[in-house]
Each structure stands twice: as C-alpha cells, then as structure tokens.
Structure 1
Amino acid sequence: MALTGSLLSPPPHARTPDGWVELFLLSGPGDEECLRFGSPVDRSTLRRLVAAQRERLADAGLGPGGTAALRLPPSLGFVVALLACWQQQAQVTLLDHRLTDHEIGLALDRLRPQVLVRAEHRSAAALRGFAEVEPEAVPLPAGRPAATPHALLQLSSGSTGPSKVIGRTAADLIRELDCYAKLPDFPGEGERVVLLSSVVHVLGLVGGLLNSLHARAPLTVPERMTAAGILDAIAADDRPSTVIGVPFHAELLAGATSPPALPRLRRMIVAGEVVRPSLPAAFGARYGVPLGTMYGMTELGVIATDLTGELHPWSAPVHGLELREEGGELHIAMADSPYPGLTDPARWSDGWLHTRDAARVDPDTGRVTVLGRRDSQVSVGGLKVDLTEVEQTLSALPGVREAVVVFDKGAIEAYLSGDPGAEPDRLRELLARQLAPYKRPRRLALLAALPRTATGKLLRDVTGLRAAVAAGRTTADPHH
C-alpha cells in the first residue's frame, strides 16, 4: 500500500490507493455507532451522508485530482465533507474555522483550491464543542488542480505568510493509523474516544477522528468544552473511554471540583505542548487513571508516546520511525520532503526531517526527550502560532514602525514602536480583523523606540523588553 517515487508524477489522483476511504474508514457493520455529535451516527448513516455530499461536490466541479478547501467548524458536516472529498480522490486543505475572513482570503489566494466547502456562519454558545452545519460546496474560478500526490494539505500555524504548507499522502495517513494500531494502550475496538482536540490539527484529525473510524472505537465530541461538559460526556457511556486533548484540557479537568465517579475512564492522552511536571500526578490523584502523553508533528503525525505515564520525561518512538539527535536538534528519517513546492535544507535534507525541536535521544533505548521549540512556533492552548506571522502582521499596521513579538509563560506579548499618533486600542481593533483571537498578543506595549543590542539588533529578551517599559519609555500600555 506504500506510495513511492517523485512528488510530481504520475498524476496526483493516480497515486491514491483505490477505495482507501471505504476500506480503512467506512467499513464495518451498518448499525454500529461510529460518531456522536449530540446524537449517535451509525456507519450506514455516515456512508449515506458521504455519498450524498460526494454528489454535491461533483456538481460543484470537484473530481479526481481536484482540490478543495474545508472551512467548517467541528461537526458531522466536517466529517462528511472530508470523507466525500477523499472519495472523489481530491486533495483537501483544512482551514481552521476560527480564522478571520482576511486570513482565509490570504490562504485561498496562496493555495488556489477549485472548491471551497463552507457553512453559513451561525452564532454559537461560548465553549460549544461542535456545531450543526450544512456544508456548501462553492466553485472557485481561479482554482487549480493538484500539483502533488498529497491527499491532505495543512498550514503549520493555520494561516499564511511564514507558515509552511505541509502535505501528506493517503499512504502517510494509513501508515500513521498502523502505528496507532500497534500501541496497546491506544483506543481500539470495544472502546470509545472522547475527543477534545480540534479535528483541523493532526492529533484530533488522525489520532482522534480517523483512528476512531479505523479502529471502530466510536468517537464522542462533548456538547460543551467546559469541565462539567467534558465530564458529562465521559460519564454518559458504559464503554471503556479514553479522552484525547491538549494539556490545557488536562489542567481543566485536574482542577474540577467534586468530579463524578468515572469507573469506565481508562486514561487521558494529551499532545501539542510540554506538560507541566506536576500535572500527571495531579490528574492521576483526581481520577485514578494515567495521563499519557504523545509527541508528534503535522509533517509525520505521532512520533513518540508515553501512554502509561511511566517513562516521563522520556517517550518511546512509534513503530517504524528512526530518530537521531543532531546538534541538539531532533531529526527523523523521512524519504520525501513533506513541504510541497518548498526547497529548504534547514527543514528537510538527505532523507531527514529537521524538526526544529531541541531533544535528547537515548543511544541505548532510542527513547526521546523533547526539550522545546528551536524556532518561532509556539503553542497557545494547544493551537500552533507562528510568532513571525504575528510580528509581520503588527509591523504592517498603519503607524507601526517596528515590532517584536515574544512568548512567555503561555502568553504572547508584543512590543511596538510607532508614530506619535499611534493608539494601542486602534491597533488592537485593526489586528482583530487580521488574526484569529488565539494569535493576538495578550499584552501590547507601545514604546517611543524599541531597545536594541550592542550590535544594533532588536532586543528579544523578555526581561529587557519589560525593563524598557518599566523605565518609562512606553507611550501607552492600557492592557498591562
């Protein structure tokens, strides 16, 4: 089933295994529950919905080798549209529904899909876990067919500019599902998954949605992403349950007061950022089950795991991956570059993916400890943000001369120098039109001049920047 050879030939649709969606994701007894977005959905219903959506996509002009972009909130409609696009042997780009219209427009201009699958915007209650939407397939006249064999395209920070376009073939996704099948502590048949992670990102998409369909472990998305809503979703079923989310969700549950008894909770698994050292013990004390961790990347999916919590701070590489430590950075063997149209030896070269993560690899066991990012990408509540993108967006605002964006203790901070008439409130208003809320700086300080190092470079040290503000060189800082 593995796909090999050049990224550019033969034609993209010929490189996708025939019937892989039906074989790996939709097969199984028709009356078997596979999804629950409020109400249960069995496999027969899912297959019928996917077939109907496939006809609508075809009517919109999407066919084999075509391209589609999905801008849909977590929903049954998202699942149906994704599977229908893949059944059409089309290449799918996932766009986070939380992005602004400005960001979506930039992404569409950059990627040129032939069809945009969207839904009429409806206001939803805060912290709603999923939406009820009807996908609409809209033809885009400037769209182009796929130039690579990838079934899936994702943007590293969910936007444009400095973000990377990352491609994965159907065979890549099937390989990752095989990795999950070989993990004895990952959800399998007879169990169920309560998914808290976004299905637009790799953990929620492959580790959550696709693995649940493949392993026949029904997936539930809570109606509300509050501690009470998540606990209610766990308690609502008598099958062994695994919760999949990001460390923020584990922190939320660990701090819940008087949680109900959850005798069928098997474990929680988190990924996306480094876990606070005391969190696994706090979670275990509250619920009596392990807090497992996973390390992965959009480029490869799951890379290493500690699902029992017994290896911390180490994790064990998944089946078939070769890891090495090179100059303090983690490199992973990967036959082809995952970056369509990008030649950057700093990211991939000579069959090795350069993760930009600082790490240690134990030479005896092969286990890995990830120490943190070596570039500008950070994680805010499990969502990836590229600080360079935020900085460039700020620098382009009217009245701003220079900008430095830093990340400290889970928060983004921005330090700006601007024209005398620049107003922080006005800058925040403009920024809100261009960046999703989770990318916006929590603190915005406007200084007469940004501090620089002895060599004339902009200072990027958080302590030094705050000292400049404290020294009175700031013109306004209303959100401090």
Structure 2
Amino acid sequence: MLADAVRGQFLSDHPGLDVPVPPWPDSFDFVDDLGADSLDRLALATAVSVHLQINRSGLDDALLARRRLGDWRDVAAQALTLYSDSFHVRSSGSQGAPRWHAHRLDVLVAEVEAVLALLPPGRGRIVSLVPAHHIYGFLFTILLPARLGCSVWEARAASPVSVAGRLMPGDVIVAHPHWWRLLAESGVPLPPAVGLTATAPCPPAVAQALRGAGLAELIEIYGASETAGIGWRPAGAGPFQLLPAWQPGEDGQLVAADGRRVDLPDHLAWQENGRFEVLGRKDGQVQVGGVNVDLAEVRRTILAVAGVRDVALRLAASGRLKAFIASDAPPVDLRPALQAAVSATLPPPARPASWTFGPALPLTPAGKPSDWQEGA
C-alpha cells in the first residue's frame, strides 16, 4: 500500500512522468529511484501520513528523516501498533476538489465479510490488478487476503494474457473493467477462478465472454471513495443489491449503519428489497481504466493549444478517450502540439488515444452533436 500511495501522490504532482508500477523493493530510494526533491518528499510524507493516520502517533516527522521505502514501512508499522482504527482515502475530485475521506476499519472489515460470503469455497490467491491505496484496492488486496490468510500476487506489470496463463483454480482476481475487457478480447481460456470488478460498469458482453472462457464468476461492486462498497451484482446482469451496511434514504442519499447520510455521485433507481439500478453520473464525468476523468479539464487543456477552434470528446470502443478537433491547421502540425499539451498536464487515462481533425465538429442532420469514425 505504501508504494502505491507514494506513486499516486508523485504522479498527481508530476502527471507526465513514467513511474514504475509496484511492487518496489525495500531499498527503493525516493530521491535516487523516483527523482523526488524536498518538496516532493514533503507531499509524499503527508499523503502517507494521512492515509494511515501516522500523525496521530507523532511519528509523521520520522518519514521526512528517511528516504527509502523499507524505512517508511518500519515507521508505518510502529505507528499502526498505536492507532489502526481507520483508513483514509482521497477522492478523485469528481464532485469538486479532491478530499480525504475517513473509513472506520471495523466497517471496512464488515464489508469484506459481506463480499466474502458471495465467493464460492476453495479460494486461493488474491491476484491484484489495482492500486492498494484506493478504497477498492485496500478492501480486496489488503483486508481480504488478511482475512483469508492467503498470498497476494501483484500482477499489474504483466499483460492480461500473461496473467491468464498463470492463473489457478480458486484465484480471486481484483481488477477494473478496462482490464477485464482486454482479457475478454484476448479469447484465452480461463480456469475456474473468481473475479471482482469495480470503479465503472462492466459491459454485459465482457462478463458473458469471461464466463464463457471459463471464469467461475465475476462479481461487480458498486461504490465510491466516499462510501466504500455500496452494492453488488453478478457483473453485467440486473440490478445491484445493497450491502448490509446501507439503507436507501431520501433525496438520493444513502443512510449508513451509524446514521450518516451520504450523497452519491450517481442517479439511482430504487426497487424492492434494497435493489437498485445506476442511471448515470450526476456530474457527467467518464471513467477510463477505472479512473474518473474530468472532461471539462481535458477540454480546457486542448482548447489552449493554438489553432484549435473547438473539440469534442467521447469514449471510444476501446474504452479510451477519443477527440475530434475543429481546426483549419494541418493535422501534421497540430497533432504533435496536442500530444505535448496533454502529456504535460493530464494523467494517462485523460489523454485522448486517437485524434480526428476537421473544419467543424460533427453534427447529426438535426444539428445535434454526432459521433465520428476515428481517424476520419
């Protein structure tokens, strides 16, 4: 979890850099191996301290005095012997500025127990394809294996096909819909393992293909950084079922077991017995590779490039963003400037993967915004 927290904070401050995916060795040096300066180290230490509440133990300054991952792990372990009743995660900012959200550890453990009851017997390893400092990763790649007493295979550095070739019956694979889509498209056979998916809707065709390839089950978790898990369903099929810790409230809110009322980022349609359907986000954001992407920010970045009159953004069939650029400038000149602008300021999921150029944005015969063929 520590390496993911460090990497996430560093990429937040330096979105254009290529930072290796954990696991990192204990000898990983934040200055020599990451390139962090004194201000970076202050931001990294602050993020880790808030995640694990190390400041409550008075040991947060010890992080700044050290620069290797293993040393930070020792500080965190000492702090957790004093205070370990909560875990804090930072939202993506899809509902305003990014904010920290506290989660009681006993509530998170109860959620893990509820999801564990959905999994078939004979469970093996946890196969992790998600960062552990996000709430979904913390629940199912930290707390779940701790509950099961099983090992964790950190597999993000491997391709979906490579992962598939090393899966074993009973493995519990924790991934996001983009990863599951790539695995389904590969067509490789799968053992009777179990999958968990979250962060965005899993298309029914993807879920069906994975089950047809041999996956025993794929369970979709609906939730948010602010709430942790809220509901579940067999991926791609029917409404969600509320997890035991929640009850529907009024005006689109949820009521937690402790009486808290929580606003949700999505519109929900409620059915009987705590079942619901997700109708769409209230803020119009999209999710790419399990990451919330602010289309307004992407649009502002692109419009700031000289020669761009207007831009349209949509999700492509690949699950990545595509952009249509209205401009009279030659694409051969404009494309490098656009790619440089988004690479300098936006994280990889927010960078369009394809660019299409024309004198005006595409419209339907009725004058409404229209989709377009990539590269046309």
2:311 is the counterpart of 1:378: no
1:180 to 112, 116, 133: 112
CA RMSD of aligned residues (A): 4.2
Return the alpha-carbon distance in structure 1 between the equivalents of residues 300 and 348 of structure 2: 16
Specify whether residues 100 and 405 from structure 1 end up closer, same or farther in structure 2 by C-alpha distance, changes over 3 A only.
Answer: farther
Could you tell me how far apart the structure 1 residues matched to 2:7 and 2:121 are? Answer: 26
Q: Write the distance in 2 (CA, Å) between the matches of 1:278 and 1:402.
A: 34
Select which of 249, 253, 270 maps to 1:331: 253
1:134 and 2:34 are equivalent in the alignment:
no
Q: Which residue of 1 aligns with 2:348?
A: 437
Q: Distance in 1 between matches of 2:29 and 2:10?
A: 13
Identity %: 19
Partner of residue 278, structure 1 = 205
Retained in 2: the 8 A contact 1:151–1:167? no
Residue in 2 aligned with 1:31? none
Deviations 1:280-328 (A, max 9, x none): 3322222151121111111111110125x6x9311211121122474xx
The answer to whether the 8 Å contact 1:295/1:305 transfers is yes
C-alpha spacing 1:80/1:275, structure 2 compared with 1 (3 Å): closer
Q: Is 1:230 matched up with 2:152?
A: no
Give the 3 Å change call, closer, same or farther, for CA 99–232 of structure 1 in structure 2. Answer: farther
The reply on whether 1:254 has 2:184 as its aligned counterpart is yes
Over 3 Å counting, the alpha-carbon distance change for 1:400 and 1:196 in structure 2 is same
Following TM superposition, by how much is the alpha carbon of 1:187 offset from its aligned partner in structure 2, in angstroms?
8.6
- 1:375-408 CA-to-partner distances (Å, cap 9, x unmatched) read 2321113222121221122233344454443335
Secondary structure of the 2:181 match is: helix
CA contact (8 A) 1:405 1:415 kept: yes
SS of residue in 1 equivalent to 2:345: coil
Q: Cα deviation per residue 1:248-278 (whole Å; 9 max; x = unaligned)?
A: 3333333444536x3xx44112112222223
**Shift of the alpha carbon at 1:155?**
4.1
CA contact (8 A) 1:151 1:169 kept: yes
TM-score by length of 1: 0.56
Mapped partners of 1:204, 1:230: distance in 2: 18
Cα distance in 2, alignment partners of residues 199 and 384 from structure 1: 17
The whole-number CA distance in structure 2 between the counterparts of 1:248 and 1:402 is 28
Matches within 5 A, 1:3-42: none
CA distance in 2, matches of 1:98, 1:259: 35
Residues 78-477 of structure 1 correspond to what in structure 2 (within 5 A)?
79-80=1-2, 95=8, 101=14, 130=23, 132=25, 134-136=28-30, 139-140=38-39, 151-156=87-92, 164-171=97-104, 173-183=105-115, 184-186=117-119, 191-222=124-155, 224-235=157-168, 240-257=170-187, 259=189, 262=191, 265-287=192-214, 289-306=216-233, 312-324=237-249, 326=251, 330-333=252-255, 352-362=261-271, 364-400=272-308, 402-407=310-315, 409=317, 410-417=319-326, 423-446=334-357, 448=359, 462-463=369-370, 466=372
Matches of 2:50 and 2:144, distance apart in 1:
27
Structure 2: gaps spanning 5 or more residues: 32-36, 54-85
Residues 220 and 233 in structure 2, CA contact (< 8 A), matched pair in contact too: yes
Q: Is the 8 A contact 1:193 1:242 kept in 2?
A: yes
The residue aligned with 1:16 is none
Look at both structures and tell me which one has the larger radius of gyration over its CA atoms: 1
Alpha-carbon contact 1:192-1:218 (below 8 Å) kept: yes
Q: Is the 8 A contact 1:315 1:368 kept in 2?
A: yes
CA distance in 2, matches of 1:431, 1:305: 35
Higher share in helix? 2
Q: Distance in 1 between matches of 2:309 and 2:193?
A: 53
Q: 1:399 to 1:351 in 2, by over 3 A?
A: farther
Gaps of 5+ in 1: 1-78, 83-91, 105-120, 337-349, 454-458, 471-476
- Secondary structure of residue in 1 paired with 2:139: helix
